[in-house]
Amino acid sequence: ESFWECDSLQFDLIDYCWGEINEGASCTGADLGIACKGNVDEIIDLTNARMHVGSTVLAFDKDGDNDKDLVLGDVTCSNLVYYKNGGDVAYAEMVSKDTSFPSNTVSVKFREYLASFLLDITGDDNKDLIVSTNDDNFGLNADNIWYYKNLNTNDTFDFDYVQNNFLIEGTIDVGAKSKPVFADYNMDGLMDLIIGSDYFYGESEIKKYSLWLYENIGTLTDPEFTLIIKDLAELSTYNIPNLFPAMADIDNDGDNDLFAGASDGTILFCENVSGVFAAPEFSYHAIDIGSNSAPVFFDANADGLLDLIIGGYFGNIFFYKNTGSITEPSFILENEIWGGVDVREIGYVTGYSTPCMYKNEQDSLILLVGSEFGKIHKYDEIEDALAGEFHERDSTFLDWIPGFHSTVSTADINADGFYDFVVGNMRGGIQFFMYDNDVAIENEIKNTITVYPNPVSDKLYIKYLQDNIPEQITVMNILSQHINNLPVQQDSFDVSFLSSGIYFLEIIFEDNKRTVTSFIIQ
């Protein structure tokens, strides 16, 4: 890059064949010692030249000899190749390669199109190595962030394998297309979480379509979710993509039965028999909306019977009225474009609607609908328009677009009288939204502290970057719930009592100035 300001870049071509290497179609690395045709003073026509499909590039001085060595990942490969630069600052020439980088420890190897990065993970001012996939279609979506600690310095790197699930281990991540739903699966009065996964693709390299169950082991006012099983009712056995969970006591026998929308547009039904879910009944009530059914049970017409509201592939909502009884339901399709709902973006055929219906704090019906492009649409004024068109209040509910293939579910999980929301998306994680009277952080000051090591397992240190004196140090979880206060007189703290996960430190200084930072317990 030659000149200009920070908002503009202008590059000059210096070398057509930097490093004297040529990549081929093999995963065993490039050919070395290649003398490229032409030089920078010649004009070469690249109009019809063949271009390489793609590589990821990390250039750094690994061996401390003041020139840039190279790490390449390739588009169809599951490994990284390291090239040692035997030249100098003025002339780069790769003289050897390591096709199992880093070969001094557990070599990185997973699908596919790997990308490597250097950053200081532990806060010791020495850069560590992170490797992940650069392919969101064919790469792994689990066990896909490999962390290597640098045991040496930035002059002579020495990478040691630590884990393959860095950051992921402290979060909820079901792979792809998370579909979280609040439901009291064990009827203990606490809302649990069931999350549909399409799909979980980890170290085994076997795609697994399943429902994950997180049980609420907390209290009515203080929820706490713990993973119970990654394959509820063993539905992965049937290899059905895009499972969308739902629960309802459909036969009024005092327990919640399990349902799941399927990619073929049908619905699976697993009856709850004495706390155990039976093998699935396919094509529940012969319902078939065509593709990607997303069912929700709700008594929309207030007749005491649970109706079926189903989203799907084309972005509309199907309404199946329950004309049966409280113990023997019977569903009749009343409307294929219920409420006039259509969440497709202009010019697109598909919409992937995912409904959620509830009565708000004013006892009015609200319909939320997730969509393919991530917007969550909110509809109200429904009671008097059940056979007509609903009023779309907005298309960015919560003032947030959570990501492609959004889904939403709601419940008052902390008994504060306000609905809380859980949102899923294409990336496989979930997002919580909880009502808070004091959302804004008043008097916030930034870049005043650093915490290390991060991640941490036992002792956490705080380094103050300015002459600010803390008056209060609070540990909070990802739901912004208070965990503990730390003594302000110390700069190191025992955090071994915390479970694995992501936490926040809120530090309040004089004049009520405050800052918030995060740390990870591993």
Q: At a CB cut-off of 8 Å and minimum separation 6, what does 313 contact?
A: 265, 289, 290, 291, 292, 350, 351, 352
Percent of the chain with pLDDT over 70: 93
Assign 9 a pLDDT band (cuts: 50, 70, 90): confident
Are 353 and 316 contacting, i.e. CB atoms less than 8 angstroms apart? Answer: yes
Question: What DSSP assignment string belongs to 186-214?
Answer: T-SSS-EEEEEEEEE--TT---EEEEEEE
In terms of DSSP bridges, do strands 94-98 and 114-119 run parallel, antiparallel, or are they unpaired? unpaired
Are 333 and 341 contacting, i.e. CB atoms less than 8 angstroms apart? Answer: no
Alpha-carbon distance 397 to 378, whole Å? 6
**What is the average per-residue pLDDT within 52-66?**
89
User: Using H for helix, E for strand and C for coil, what is the string for 431-481?
Assistant: EEECCCCCCCCCCECCCCEEEECCCECCEEEEEECCCCCEEEEEEEECCCC
Q: Is the pLDDT of residue 439 over 50?
A: no
pTM of the predicted model over 0.85: no
Burial class (CB within 10 angstroms; exposed 0-12, middle 13-18, buried 19+) of 285: middle
Please give the angle made by the CA atoms of 37, 43 and 46, to the nearest 5 degrees. 75
Which domains are present in the chain? Answer: 21-170 (no CATH), 179-433 (2.115.10.20), 449-521 (2.60.40.10)
Over residues 249-260, the pLDDT tens digits come to: 999 999 999 999
Nearest alpha-carbon partner for 227 in 278, 174, 274: 174
Over residues 364-420, the pLDDT tens digits come to: 999 999 999 999 999 999 999 999 999 999 999 988 899 999 999 999 998 888 899
Which pLDDT does position 375 carry in this prediction?
Answer: 96
Assign 64 a pLDDT band (cuts: 50, 70, 90): very high
More confident residue, 63 or 436: 63
Question: What DSSP assignment string belongs to 26-45?
Answer: -SS-PEES---SS-TTS---
Alpha-carbon distance 16 to 2, whole Å? 17
Alpha-carbon distance 126 to 138, whole Å? 32
Over residues 160-190, the pLDDT tens digits come to: 999 999 999 889 999 999 999 999 999 998 9
Are 379 and 392 contacting, i.e. CB atoms less than 8 angstroms apart? Answer: yes
Q: Is the pLDDT of residue 1 over 60?
A: no
Say how many CA atoms lie within 13 Å of 154 toward its Cβ.
9
Alpha-carbon distance 27 to 192, whole Å? 46
- Three-state DSSP class for residue 397: helix
Q: Which DSSP state fits 87?
A: S
- Three-state DSSP class for residue 133: strand
More confident residue, 33 or 212: 212
Alpha-carbon distance 26 to 253, whole Å? 61
Assign 39 a pLDDT band (cuts: 50, 70, 90): low
Assign 37 a pLDDT band (cuts: 50, 70, 90): low
**What is the average per-residue pLDDT within 300-329?**
97
**What is the average per-residue pLDDT within 263-268?**
98
Percent of the chain with pLDDT over 90: 63
More confident residue, 201 or 344: 344
Are 522 and 457 contacting, i.e. CB atoms less than 8 angstroms apart? Answer: yes
Alpha-carbon distance 341 to 320, whole Å? 15
Which pLDDT does position 45 carry in this prediction?
Answer: 62
**What is the average per-residue pLDDT within 38-45?**
56
Which pLDDT does position 22 carry in this prediction?
Answer: 83
Alpha-carbon distance 249 to 256, whole Å? 4
